[in-house]
Chains A and B, each alone.
Chain A
Amino acid sequence: EVQVVESGGGLVQPGGSLRLSCAASGFAFSNYSLNWVRQAPGKGLEWVSYISSRGSTIYYADSVRGRFTISRDNARNSLYLQMNSLRAEDTAVYYCAREHVGVYFDYWGQGTLVTVSS
C-alpha cells in the first residue's frame, strides 16, 4: 500500500526555521517526482515546490523561492522541505504529494500544520 506521511510541523516564530519531512512507503520511491503543496486555513491549495526523481530538477513557487529548500534522500525514502525566514503567511497545512509521470498527483499525505506566530 502506498503511503506518504508528513511530519515536522509546529509553532514557530516569524523569522524562524522549520524542517518538514515526508516518509514514503509502498512504492519505488526513487522512480517518482514529488511535490509539496500547502493550504492556508480556510483557503485553497497552493503548490510550493517540485523535485524530480533523482533530485536533479527543482522548482519553487515565487512565494517561497529563496527561503525554502526542497530535497530528498532516495536511500531513506524521504522528502524534505527546509523552511527559513518564515512569515505569518506561511501558516498552512503542508502536504507531500507523489506525482504520476508529470500528469497528476496520485497520492497525498494527511498533511502537517505549520503555524507561524509570535
Chain B
Amino acid sequence: SYELTQPPSVSVSPGQTASITCSGDKLGDKYVCWYQQKPGQSPVLVIYQDGKRPSGIPERFSGSNSGNTATLTISGTLAMDEGDYYCQAWVIGTAWVFGGGTKVTVL
C-alpha cells in the first residue's frame, strides 16, 4: 500500500521559516494538499494542488511538490501556526492517503 511519510515534529522560532516534508514514491506525479489541525478541532485545508492557497489562508503558507517529496513552508511563523499538519494525496487504486502528521511547535 502507498505511504506518505512526515517527520513527527518540527520546531521553529517566531518569525522564522518552518518546512514540513511529505515523502512518497513518485509523489511529484500526484497532487498534494495540506491540512492544519489544532487540538480539539477539525482539520482545516491550508494548501491544495501542491501550492494553491484556499481563500482566507495567509500568504505565509506555501507549498511545493517534486520528485518524491512535497513541502509545506510557513514563512514568518506565528504562534497561532502551532498545531498538527497532515499531507494528503489521491493514489490510483488506493484512494486517499494521509501522512502521519507533523507537530509544529513555535518556541
Contacts and interface: CB of A to CB of B under 8 A. Distances in A.
B94 to A, nearest CB: 8
Which one of B31, B42, B90 has the greatest number of beta carbons of chain A within 10 Å? B42
Interface of B: 1, 31, 33, 35, 37, 42-45, 48-49, 54, 84, 86, 88, 90, 94-101
8 contacts: A37-B98, A44-B98, A45-B43, A47-B96, A59-B94, A62-B1, A103-B48, A105-B43
A35 interface: yes
A103 B52 CA distance: 11
Given A59-B94, A95-B42, 15 more contacts: A37-B98, A44-B99, A44-B100, A45-B37, A45-B86, A47-B97, A50-B96, A59-B95, A61-B95, A95-B43, A103-B33, A103-B49, A104-B88, A106-B45, A111-B42
A104 B98 contact: no
Nearest to B99: A44
A45 B97 CA distance: 9
Contacts of A103: 31, 33, 48-49
Contact of A44 (B33, B44, B86): B86
A85 B75 CA distance: 46
A115 B101 CA distance: 22
A47 to B, nearest CB: 4
B95 A104 contact: no
Nearest 5 pairs between A and B by C-beta?
A44-B101, A59-B95, A108-B42, A47-B96, A104-B48
Contacts of A61: 95
